[in-house]
Structure 1
């Protein structure tokens, strides 16, 4: 089977840590099918007013990642305005690349990850080429984008016309059904973690030594984008409410547009000495940071099923998070961590204090992670691909017979 993947969420030479979960999933899918990846990037001339988008001008049109050929066509962006129309510019940007690749490989199926603009463009390309299309939804592309009237219409329209929708959680599926997508069209398949993720992780003391962290300090770890919507300001406020002599060291691994503002907030709370911000780290290094920690905190205001939670569980570390999205589908008991109502900073503070003081059964936590693996995910996804392609073949035969009868 030959599959074309269309997604803006994929590592590239400028962003090696971008959506590594998609790369991991595709690496496992390649055991079952031949895959090409089209990962568009914003088009931007190298001028200052384009801000962060101007850096993409230096990105090669084609890259290779672990045996995966990745094509980077450009699509027009207009920072600050017209985001609801990006689906149209995205479609225009990928059109020539997808058409040329299909003339070479004659794909059996188009698979898009991210509902908009990726799913919108992929569904329209599939329709033009006469190919089936499956769209994967992750979290914010449903939780946030459906709040915008025009984007909602474009998302619901394209998902309704897609052959199948793949959701990473039951929560997202319910939201799509409420938005008008047929329930039978949506399949829930949880993301996974690598079979060997966390296997070689050392003990907490050794991990602290390797990272140069104080051995005598309890550690809360956050891994992700430094954005207000990810709850990082809530985390800082929650730490400030813990008794002063019991406050853990908090490590924020990642970067984002709210970093400077967050640093100011941490300073205003008098917590500079308790917060470490090492910036983005290679994905291969994340298990070490997790091993050094006592608990992971992810106080996002909206989520799908974040892979960092699956990874923390695989390392045997409990999770403290808001009860949002698909997180309760992973953290199913207090043996795995604590969930609190969103934006309840007092409750978050109490949960963090309990998490670093409790003696956790790390083996029990690790055992729970075994149900989330990329091998099983890839098998289920390939089975979905096969079913959709079979339906397409049956349709084609039926249409041919109708023409012959006529």
Structure 2
């Protein structure tokens, strides 16, 4: 029985059900493995105490410090995330907070390996804790944890040092692995570990026209799913669809760029066919994606976006930028198009797919390798190897 301690600051809770759902799904798959015993630690970063009573921090403060979450034993210790320090002290604060928690866990659960499912601040803290408990550490890189924290002056050295100190590393795409190597991490310790998709839930609509009608969309439908952040490039997709008469765009997500997007939609005079849906529960996404003719995301950086493979599993082709593992997903015209982050280029790619769409079956077939079963099997093999090598 492999005893795993999974550590992730990116993990859902009662106040944030969509937060880190893919880390959750990976963890649930691993916990269900017949040869695994798993405890999860999902630390909650909070500002110093006077600020903890404000806004969403107050809600986070009400979370239990330990609970059974979807059948998994999850600990939720707090650590102090000092504001205005650009993350410089996050990993050290996390390590200090985790020592008494992991000491107590280890008294009853002698974990063999620490599985850190997000690179920062989890990775540096995990490496230090691995030394304390004499167990190997694996760290997974997903996207912004490398592209932001791994390049920011205040945290870049911590990310690099954690990558060099871990027994093994995981990358969501080959492109992410290359970025990690560029930062100075050892290539021979990095394994590409693709995400999975629930192909029973994410599947083509039996009648796409009827599915669009339920959404109040009479003609071609494009969707864009992702946080309303500048790096997601939703403004590019808005301008692209604005140039395609009769095409509707629905954007699902929330974030600080909402006001800018609302102003752009108003300025372009397309409020009748471009709508911001806000954040949607992950459970509602299959129906939305399956209704769409095209799924578009103009990100400036990605690892391997989960919505790419979810869209393909729904039989919906994608139009994306050449970011992260784009070419690991768009391997044929049936998957969609990879283009530059420019409104005219996106409009041309979307228009081409609307004019000559691949079959839903052909698009779905591209997503066939991306299963949670494959994800779990590869992760179990990776962690087992690290433990064996340590012994």
Q: 1:112 aligns with which of 110, 113, 116?
A: 116
Q: Which has the larger radius of gyration?
A: 1
**Do the aligned partners of 1:10 and 1:20 also contact (CA within 8 Å) in 2?**
yes
2:176 counterpart of 1:206: no
Report the equivalent of 2:201: 197
**Do the aligned partners of 2:203 and 2:290 also contact (CA within 8 Å) in 1?**
no
Report the equivalent of 1:39: 42
**Do the aligned partners of 1:146 and 1:152 also contact (CA within 8 Å) in 2?**
yes
- Distance apart, 1:323 and its partner CA: 0.8
Report the equivalent of 2:351: 353
- Matches of 2:25 and 2:205, distance apart in 1: 19
- Matches of 1:80 and 1:264, distance apart in 2: 29
- Matches of 2:96 and 2:246, distance apart in 1: 52
**Is the alpha carbon distance of 1:126 and 1:274 closer, same or farther for their aligned partners in structure 2, counting shifts above 3 Å?**
same
Flag the structure with higher helix content: 1
Report the equivalent of 1:154: 158
**Is the alpha carbon distance of 1:239 and 1:201 closer, same or farther for their aligned partners in structure 2, counting shifts above 3 Å?**
closer
- Matches of 1:95 and 1:268, distance apart in 2: 53
- Matches of 2:256 and 2:54, distance apart in 1: 15
Task: Give the alignment's Cα RMSD to 1 decimal.
Answer: 1.8
**Is the alpha carbon distance of 1:123 and 1:354 closer, same or farther for their aligned partners in structure 2, counting shifts above 3 Å?**
same
SS at match of 2:272: helix
- Matches of 2:74 and 2:386, distance apart in 1: 24
For normalisation by structure 2, the TM-score amounts to 0.94
For normalisation by structure 1, the TM-score amounts to 0.91
Q: 1:222 aligns with which of 218, 224, 241?
A: 224
2:51 counterpart of 1:53: no
**Do the aligned partners of 1:46 and 1:55 also contact (CA within 8 Å) in 2?**
no
- Distance apart, 1:51 and its partner CA: 5.1
- Distance apart, 1:46 and its partner CA: 6.8
User: Which runs of 5 or more residues in structure 1 are unaligned?
Assistant: 394-406
- Matches of 2:94 and 2:365, distance apart in 1: 42
**Is the alpha carbon distance of 1:47 and 1:144 closer, same or farther for their aligned partners in structure 2, counting shifts above 3 Å?**
closer
- Matches of 1:200 and 1:354, distance apart in 2: 20
- Matches of 2:52 and 2:98, distance apart in 1: 25
- Matches of 1:353 and 1:131, distance apart in 2: 53
SS at match of 2:121: helix
Report the equivalent of 2:127: 123
Which segment drifts farther, 309-318 or 193-202?
Answer: 193-202
May I ask how many residue pairs the two structures share in their alignment? 387
- Matches of 2:121 and 2:203, distance apart in 1: 37
User: Which runs of 5 or more residues in structure 2 are unaligned?
Assistant: none
